[in-house]
Structure 1
Amino acid sequence: MQQKTIRKFKRGQTNRTVKRVIEDLTLDDMYEKFILVKQTEALAPRTIADYHTNYRFFKVYINEMNPTVEEITLDLFRGFIGHMLNEKGLSPVTANVRIRTMRAFIRFCYLEGYIETPIHEHFKPVKTTEDTLESFTPTEIKSLLSSIDDELYTGFRDKVIVLVLLDTMVRVSELIAIKRENVDLKGGFIKLEAAFTKTRKSRTVPLSSKTIKLLNEYVKETDDFEDEFLFLTYDGQPITAATVRWNLTQYGKAAGITNKRVSPHTFRHTGALFYIMNGGDPFSLQKILGHSHMNMVRKYIQMSDTDVRRQHNSFSPLNSIFNK
């Protein structure tokens, strides 16, 4: 007589058990599972922190409630979007950052089988007008540099930071993570480690001769700190992104630049624009910026009307006819 090695369950018994467990899940339970999975994807700490921040905004909107699976409806998320746009007065760009986080979370819940309806397909980012990214003029950059007292250590450091931001077009998170060992002044480049880039891929950014000269002085100036990071405070601690942003804002005020934001990202836009206007090609620019897609590069090199007129005057088709 054949022995039974596998017990037969009544049809549907296992499914009912699983369904019961799923129904007992709350929004917070599912979010914890979502974050655990995201952490296994080796995302940057900043990305995980952004997930937490945007989830908190949603929790505040629902008055810290922790709804069950059955209580999670499309109306909750539509109401959240309306709240951000109409009551909080957020810009569509800011609202979309939070909307995308919640869509990614709810999509995860649907694919994992925690919720039965693909709610994420029915609330989407709102339409936005195409932003014209701000850039500095050469005159504004010179005024900003003139406002920095480079007789002081912090001033000299900040002047070097401005040139590195403009020359390499690195993000501020990448800037503060630069290690001394990754700066090759003889080769004329800086290696950005994968752990500190937004794309999680290492890349090399070139340096111009002027930046190399100032960086060489700065490296010698900071030798006695004996720290692995390049940019340091006056007492030898790694500088933070917040400090870089605050310092640039103050220099911008001193230089009288009030019509645009003086920030690390504005230098990134400016560097990209000047690179193209000085004859650089978009493909090498894409590699320097660290973008995977050319559409982001196109966004970075938006020109003002004045820039377009200047370029047209230099490269007008009529120049070929009348031998300018």
Structure 2
Amino acid sequence: MQKKSKPKLKIRTGSKKETLVDSDILTLDEMFVKFMTAKQTEGLAPRTINEYYQHYDNLKDFLGQDMTNENITVEDFQGYIGFMLHDKGLAPMTVNIRTRTMRAFIRYCHKKGFIDTPIHEDFKPIKTPSDTLESFTPDEVKKILSVIDDSMYTGFRNKVIIYVLLDTLVRISELCAMKRSNVNLEKGEIYLEAMGTKTRKARIVPITKPTIDLLKEYLEIIEDFDDEHLFLTYDGHEINHATVRINLRDYGKGAGVKKRVSPHTFRHTGALWYIKNGGDPFSLQKTLGHSDMSMTRKYIQMSDMDIQGQHKKFSPINNLV
């Protein structure tokens, strides 16, 4: 095995960018190790760290070989984006998630002086329409619920999961991380611990009476299980993301719903219904756990389009024409 050369002494120029004196040639793998070492000091969730590795593996599969800081080009990343979109047929949102990860990696390499050219500035997430957030109609959710056999434990648990997803607007990772001890039925709220949220900030999400009633019954069913988590498998273990996704997908197929039936679609649906029912965007932002209003604003824009359609249909001016 070829012995890796040690990085040479680094100096600082007048800017904050670090430059290698007579720099060694570094491979993508070597630079990625340095990048992930830095990322692991930021307190990111284990799932996020794993996604960085997965996204890098996807890039390496496309490139077909390890490359170096001297021969990697912007065309490699532009080609990768085109490959994901056209050859793999991935959704634009999925492509953008992977692209942002790689941009963060290359931006780090440029900042550290491993790569001379800021090629991360020339490949960016693709533009997507602001109204592409898919959501369900009330009838579609009722159809999904109608195919669930809630006389069985798993069916009843999944029914509760759907209610909680719609009511609290949590992400799938936050749902699976919920603890029984953090469910307060009297106050009508669930406390999300910081380590279980995407933003690493704790927050409280409210729940309404229909969800409270279902949770009360569900908690009585699982009271003899030892695991501290709220949603458990039939043998009392913490449920994983994949199980929830597969169950929801199968219910969607059984109900004949043509849209993607996933935890995130329920999150979109709950947020859109919240705005349509008169909820204000600031409390919605807090419930969703968004760090800024940019994402929350999409739900408001979707709601505005619906309001315009309704206004055209029911405007009093129609009586004069």
TM over 0.5: yes
| 1:127 CA drift (Å) | 3.1
Tell me the residue number matched to 1:96: 96
On the 8 A contact 1:168/1:288 being kept in 2, the answer is: yes
Q: Provide the aligned length of Structure 1 versus Structure 2.
A: 304
| 1:37 CA drift (Å) | 0.2
Deviation track 1:101-136 (CA, whole Å, cap 9, x = no partner) reads 221111101111112221212222233344422211
Tell me the residue number matched to 1:10: none
Q: Distance in 1 between matches of 2:188 and 2:277?
A: 19
- Secondary structure at the counterpart of residue 275 of structure 2: helix
| 1:58 CA drift (Å) | 1.4
Once the two structures are aligned, what percentage of the paired residues are identical? 59
Q: Which amino acid aligns with 1:288?
A: T
Q: Distance in 1 between matches of 2:254 and 2:82?
A: 39
Q: 1:40 to 1:147 in 2, by over 3 A?
A: same
- Aligned runs of 1:286-301 on 2, under 5 Å? 286-301=285-300
| 1:44 CA drift (Å) | 1.6
Residue 279, structure 1, aligned to residue 281, structure 2: no
| 1:46 CA drift (Å) | 1.9
Q: Which amino acid aligns with 1:163?
A: Y
- Secondary structure at the counterpart of residue 205 of structure 1: strand
Q: Distance in 2 between matches of 1:112 and 1:207?
A: 47
Deviation track 1:174-229 (CA, whole Å, cap 9, x = no partner) reads 11110011000111100011111111111100010111111111111100112200
On the 8 A contact 2:182/2:190 being kept in 1, the answer is: yes
Q: 1:208 to 1:87 in 2, by over 3 A?
A: closer
- Aligned runs of 1:121-200 on 2, under 5 Å? 121-200=121-200
On the 8 A contact 1:176/1:239 being kept in 2, the answer is: yes
On the 8 A contact 1:34/1:108 being kept in 2, the answer is: yes
Q: Which amino acid aligns with 2:189?
A: F
Tell me the residue number matched to 1:229: 229
Deviation track 1:271-318 (CA, whole Å, cap 9, x = no partner) reads 11111122211111111111122121122352496665446767x586
Tell me the residue number matched to 1:19: 21
Residue 40, structure 1, aligned to residue 41, structure 2: yes
Tell me the residue number matched to 1:69: 69
- Secondary structure at the counterpart of residue 49 of structure 1: helix
- Secondary structure at the counterpart of residue 229 of structure 2: coil
Tell me the residue number matched to 1:245: 245
| 1:69 CA drift (Å) | 2.4
Structure 1's unaligned 5+ residue stretches are 1-12
Structure 2's unaligned 5+ residue stretches are 1-8, 12-18
- Secondary structure at the counterpart of residue 195 of structure 2: helix
On the 8 A contact 1:277/1:311 being kept in 2, the answer is: no
- Secondary structure at the counterpart of residue 224 of structure 2: helix
Q: 1:151 to 1:137 in 2, by over 3 A?
A: same
Q: 1:265 to 1:82 in 2, by over 3 A?
A: closer
Q: Distance in 1 between matches of 2:113 and 2:316?
A: 60
Tell me the residue number matched to 2:57: 56
Q: Distance in 2 between matches of 1:262 and 1:289?
A: 19
| 1:87 CA drift (Å) | 3.8
Q: Which amino acid aligns with 1:274?
A: W
- Secondary structure at the counterpart of residue 116 of structure 2: coil
